[in-house]
Structure 1
Amino acid sequence: MMTEYNGVHSFLLEYIGKCKSGEIIVGRELVQMLDVLLTHFDNPDIQIDFEDAHKRIKFIETKCKHYEAPFAGKPFILELFQKAFIEAFYSFKIYDEEVGRWIRLYQDFLYLVGRKNGKTPLISAMDLAEFFCGPLGIKILCASNDYEQADLMFQAINAMREESPALDKVTRKNIKGIFFGNPKKRKAKGKFSYKNKGSIRKISAKTGAKEGRNIGVGSVDEVHELKDNSSIMPIRQALSTQDEPIYGELTTEGMVNDGYLDERLKDARKVLNGELDRPRWLIWLYTQDSEAEIWQDEKTWPKSNPGLGAIKKWSFLRQMIEEAKTSKATRAFVLSKDFNIKQNNAQAWLMPEDIINPEIFEIEEFRNCFAIGSVDLSKSGDLACARATLMKKGSQKKYTLQKYFIPASKLLTLSKDERAMYEDWIKQGLIEVSPGNENDFRLVTAWFVKLYKEYGIRFYKIGYDKWSATYWVKEMEEIGFDCVRVNQDFGSMSEPMKLVEADLKSNMINYNDNPIDKYCLENTALNINSKAEIMPVKVQGKENKKIDGAVTMIIGYKIYIDNRTEFLDLVGR
């Protein structure tokens, strides 16, 4: 396949040729876009002009330097796939009757790629190139879901600017952004003087007053975190006065259900399939053709990781795959972030075989022992749970005693089958019923007191969630119990939830074969954030089911992890 057009070497044509020959492995969705681009070369209504693209490529490779290890300080030499993308965006021109001249065909792009493939540095370098190579007075906006993420792109741009003496000499940075003109080396006039009112700024989805800006470039990072287009539309509207605006979205896949990226990808795939006409949108998706191929053939991994081997390490990805085989949280995170396979943000947490453990024990085995307590009081009109977690000297196995509580009125709202199930548990003494519409939390207190008085079980600390706990905590502390609040958020719940999962899989939790514990564990899903942190939620479609027992296990483990040394010392006495 030819790699030149009108005597000029084309990185795009070179890339397409290598993709078509199989030398470079790409997925079906990128091939669809490349096929569209090939038709442009034979379209009489489209002019091919590489000048703008090659000018920016040259700028990046000669003026920009990497700013993070292991490439810090080295020239930003673009990979072929990156050059092909830049060329695809800048090289095709159409005649615009309203503007009265030939202008760039593509105004928007969506760039989807696995993490650690140089996504943010590439778009940051393109923005910096546009700042210097674009029109006088161009204003560039770096945006994301939160200020920290938007700052990553902004700081990437600034780090490249500072690394280059030539760029640093004619620009300045302050808390508002990056601007032309250097106070130490002033130029009276010209593109690189104070008279050039161009700027690079940052903004987040949470920042107000986005309307009214007049920008030439809007780059939005990690759009998978956006719940809707409310923060996107003001940015796009701010581009409306430009003859050749640039609006770019760059991201990996995410776990926000029915979020902005879901809708954006639906439209993108309709465009690629010829079902929707968006001729000015460049859709550049590095995706796998199936999940099965990820596990079966690592040679397919470059489909979602084009920088594999040059930017991203094969060893890193192999390690992630091995961890994903044993951890549900890691699996969901790796599939979405490394391979762009969409994951539900409420993944089922455990397999049935992880939950089953028929082992039982007698409470007498723990007479006069220390325990960690935990409660999930939930809403006063619903199921609640209290738990004691115990250990034996020289063993990592955890043994748990549990008691559930429910108001009588709640039983009346259950279906016939559910009510029969709950009534059976009540007969077995697993659930204590409070009369009326609310749980009597004094019964929870009485359960902890009973374990102390009848079996000498002393509670080191008792973890509780925030729901309905204020008066109960006061009552417990007046008796002498030490109560510790455990927030039900990613930061608090992630590490203990992962340890509970690992211990359940290795039969290191003996919950006395309690059927309500089983029921709660089956209903528990894990919610995953962009940091691979997890927390418990209900499985989708089971919003009326209960997970209180699983939550108390996790809360108990949180207390254990935070106080492991001291608690194990008490256990060993």
Structure 2
Amino acid sequence: MILPDPLKVSPYEYEGTHSFLLEYIGKCKIGEILIGQELMQMLDVLLGHFDNPEIKVDYEDAYKRIKFIETKCKHFEAPFAGKPFVLELFQKAFTEAIYIFKIYDEEIGRWVRLYQDVLFLVARKNGKTPLISALCLAEFFCGELGTRILCSSNDYEQADLMFQAINSMREESKSLMNVTRSNIKGIFFGNPKKPKKTGKFSYKNKGTIKKISAKTGAKEGKNIKVGAVDEVHELKDNSSTMPIRQAVSTQDEPLYIELTTEGIVNDGYLDERMREARQVLNGELERPRWLIWLYTQDSEQEIWKNEKSWAKSNPGLGVIKKKSFLKKMVEEAKSSKSMRVFVLSKDFNIKQNNASAWLTPEDIINEEEFDLEELRNCFGIGAVDLSKSGDLASARIILMKPGSQKKYTLQKYFIPESKLETLSKEDRKRFVEWIRSGLIDVSPGNENDFSLVTAWFVKLVKEYGIRPYKIGYDKWSAIYWAKEMEEYGFDLVKVSQQDWGSMSEPMRLVEADLKSNLINYSNNPIDKFCLENTALDMNTKMEMRPIKVQGKEDKKIDGAVTIIIGYRVYIDNRTEFLSLVGR
């Protein structure tokens, strides 16, 4: 199809009706609106529909829903709370794309909506949840009698966000409130205070809007017309989406919408959906009923070099999402690996591997060494990762000098003799050298003798006067060892390395201190080895914890874990510990 001339007085019309979709395509084509190549591929497909004799273009359903949203829906969150929901051009174009294209269904015997399956990928804070919530509410009122809608997500809290957005928009409108009611189970037609005996807005209309999460049972068997699944990047597989997709399959014109940003779950549900979506866009896979609307960047490099390119993944930039906020995020991402992972995935829809290296070689390399005599009679913070009894274990003490932010850390490693035989040839050579150098103590047989860990801390006290203020330890296999340590008078604190909340803050501080050369680990090669093998695992709250780098599952990270555990204890007791250091 030949695009209308944008310089004419009435451009972007099709058969005498203005099309927001054609307007959007036209402005994208001339570069007035910047989008990525993947969305342009979809727009080219949509443009071809206008010339396809087997597809009918009918604006009625789209215009009805756009009008409903702009006249009946109001925003409910600051800074737009109470204001009418005025749709941006990209939102109107997206809505049109869903509703205006019709195909004749021989089985049903009438024209039906072409697109029944929608994937909507857009960076965070671009209004995706309010938009889909408004569309669900519009479908509830503008759709047929008995329309049932289901809001879903990976957890109940996220599913509730969409449901509450729908309900809040309903509550903002007196006319919508007059014909509906809500409770903890959902939203329903019929108002007990102003009952209607017949018609669409009476109790006879059994339409509902409800919410479920991926953890909710008994999803099969629901007969719904609209299913909207939020933040699908968190899903590990299709076990929570397939029941919803099957539940809409009985409808003549079902609508199944997945809305999300990119994520950091490896080999998750979204990864498979994105692979299929890209195959469809490239003509390698046929899915004619699937609307794929992806706001993605064309490369990572353009993010750092060209601020204008940010609009490709952020269509609401400057109106819905503040550019100053995004600038701040990008600047922080330049100096922090954890922030970089989060920003690239959540603000620019660039998939991040959550098992890639946490630190760069430059962050890790520090050839400084220190003489323990300089720190004699100091207070310290201990940290222990006993791991499994048949594996490498790590013990550490973190020391500081009065008036300095630098942390000096002394470490000792422990391994059972039999474990050496299971190491790779390359690692075995390293470990044998480290044992000869006195960096690792070996226990005979198949298990670590954890009393050697206790003896190491006792030795620090007796020979150097170093007094552990508190010792953090991961609770794995530590019951008897902890009891032994407490009998010696040591104060132990449990710190779980599997807990996002425990690990996140200390990991950030360790990263920052390594970059600033504020950690002196006396050039210990095992510490370097462990830091190189450590990856960050991040959740959607931007909390992180240490895991092994993908592909290095046989490598060790125990030394990195004890640094982080030590920092957790330091953060929790900073004021009191520093007062002891300053004495």
Tell me whether the two structures share a fold, i.e. TM-score over 0.5: yes
Please state if 1:537 is matched with 2:583. no
**Structure 2 counterpart of 1:354:** 363
- Counterpart CA distance in 2 for 1:274 and 1:400 is 57
TM superposition shift of 1:103: 0.6
**Structure 2 counterpart of 1:518:** 528
TM superposition shift of 1:415: 2.6
Q: CA deviation digits over 1:56-106, x for unaligned, max 9? A: 000000000001111011000000000000001000011101111111011
Q: Which of 295, 299, 302 is the matching residue for 1:290?
A: 299
- Counterpart CA distance in 2 for 1:257 and 1:156 is 30
TM superposition shift of 1:362: 1.3
**Structure 1 counterpart of 2:327:** 318
Q: CA deviation digits over 1:389-417, x for unaligned, max 9? A: 01111111100010000000011112333
Q: Which amino acid aligns with 1:158?
A: N
**Structure 1 counterpart of 2:7:** none
Query: Which piece of structure 1 moves more, 219-228 or 187-196?
Result: 187-196
**Structure 2 counterpart of 1:396:** 405
- Counterpart CA distance in 2 for 1:125 and 1:419 is 61
Q: Is the 8 A contact 1:254 1:342 kept in 2?
A: yes
Q: What TM-score does the superposition give when structure 2 sets the normalisation length? A: 0.98
Q: CA deviation digits over 1:165-190, x for unaligned, max 9? A: 11111111111001111111111111
Please state if 1:308 is matched with 2:297. no
Q: Which of 62, 81, 84 is the matching residue for 1:72?
A: 81
Q: Which amino acid aligns with 1:151?
A: D
Q: Which of 69, 87, 96 is the matching residue for 2:96?
A: 87
Please state if 1:37 is matched with 2:46. yes
Q: Which amino acid aligns with 1:498?
A: R
> How many residues matched?
573
Please state if 1:192 is matched with 2:201. yes
Q: Which amino acid aligns with 1:355?
A: I
Correspondences of 1:456-471 after superposition (within 5 Å): 456-471=465-480
Q: CA deviation digits over 1:438-467, x for unaligned, max 9? A: 000000011011111111111111100121
Correspondences of 1:47-126 after superposition (within 5 Å): 47-126=56-135
| SS of the residue 1:336 aligns to | helix
Q: Is the 8 A contact 1:370 1:458 kept in 2?
A: yes
Please state if 1:562 is matched with 2:572. yes
Correspondences of 1:393-432 after superposition (within 5 Å): 393-432=402-441
Q: Which amino acid aligns with 1:193?
A: S
- Counterpart CA distance in 1 for 2:192 and 2:487 is 66
Q: CA deviation digits over 1:129-165, x for unaligned, max 9? A: 0000001011000000111110010010011011111
Q: CA deviation digits over 1:186-216, x for unaligned, max 9? A: 1111111111110000000111110010000
Q: Which amino acid aligns with 2:42?
A: M
**Structure 2 counterpart of 1:160:** 169
Please state if 1:550 is matched with 2:550. no
Q: Which of 210, 217, 220 is the matching residue for 1:211?
A: 220
Q: Which of 506, 510, 513 is the matching residue for 1:503?
A: 513
| SS of the residue 2:547 aligns to | strand
- Counterpart CA distance in 1 for 2:396 and 2:488 is 18
Q: Which amino acid aligns with 1:296?
A: K
TM superposition shift of 1:345: 1.0
Q: Which amino acid aligns with 1:137?
A: G
**Structure 1 counterpart of 2:273:** 264
Please state if 1:232 is matched with 2:241. yes
Correspondences of 1:340-351 after superposition (within 5 Å): 340-351=349-360
Q: Which amino acid aligns with 1:313?
A: K
- Counterpart CA distance in 2 for 1:370 and 1:36 is 68
Runs of 4+ in structure 1 deviating by more than 6 angstroms, as ranges, are none
- Counterpart CA distance in 2 for 1:149 and 1:217 is 18
Q: Please, which runs of 5 or more residues in structure 2 have no aligned partner?
A: 5-10
TM superposition shift of 1:384: 0.3
- Counterpart CA distance in 2 for 1:367 and 1:270 is 64
- Counterpart CA distance in 2 for 1:106 and 1:29 is 18
**Structure 2 counterpart of 1:334:** 343
Q: Please, which runs of 5 or more residues in structure 1 have no aligned partner?
A: none
Q: Which amino acid aligns with 1:428?
A: S
TM superposition shift of 1:251: 0.4
- Counterpart CA distance in 1 for 2:301 and 2:376 is 51
Please state if 1:127 is matched with 2:156. no
Query: Which piece of structure 1 moves more, 184-193 or 370-379?
Result: 184-193
Q: Is the 8 A contact 1:346 1:528 kept in 2?
A: no
- Counterpart CA distance in 2 for 1:381 and 1:534 is 27
Q: CA deviation digits over 1:263-314, x for unaligned, max 9? A: 1011111111111111110000001111111111111111100000110011
| SS of the residue 1:560 aligns to | helix
Q: Which amino acid aligns with 2:158?
A: Q
**Structure 1 counterpart of 2:484:** 475
Q: Is the 8 A contact 1:116 1:311 kept in 2?
A: yes
- Counterpart CA distance in 2 for 1:179 and 1:76 is 22
- Counterpart CA distance in 2 for 1:171 and 1:471 is 61
Structure-2 change in CA distance of 1:525 and 1:242 (3 Å): same
| SS of the residue 1:360 aligns to | coil
TM superposition shift of 1:347: 2.1
TM superposition shift of 1:431: 0.3
Q: Which amino acid aligns with 1:367?
A: R
- Counterpart CA distance in 2 for 1:518 and 1:182 is 67
- Counterpart CA distance in 2 for 1:316 and 1:14 is 29
Query: Which piece of structure 1 moves more, 527-536 or 556-565?
Result: 527-536
Please state if 1:449 is matched with 2:466. no
- Counterpart CA distance in 2 for 1:155 and 1:413 is 54
Identity within the alignment, %:
79
- Counterpart CA distance in 1 for 2:521 and 2:363 is 13
Q: What TM-score does the superposition give when structure 1 sets the normalisation length? A: 0.99
- Counterpart CA distance in 1 for 2:521 and 2:186 is 57
| SS of the residue 2:351 aligns to | coil
TM superposition shift of 1:535: 1.0
- Counterpart CA distance in 1 for 2:551 and 2:217 is 35
Q: Which amino acid aligns with 1:571?
A: V
Q: Which of 369, 374, 380 is the matching residue for 1:371?
A: 380
- Counterpart CA distance in 1 for 2:535 and 2:49 is 47
- Counterpart CA distance in 2 for 1:311 and 1:530 is 21
Q: Is the 8 A contact 1:359 1:512 kept in 2?
A: yes
Q: Which amino acid aligns with 1:81?
A: F
Q: Which amino acid aligns with 1:50?
A: Y
- Counterpart CA distance in 2 for 1:77 and 1:293 is 31
Please state if 1:24 is matched with 2:33. yes
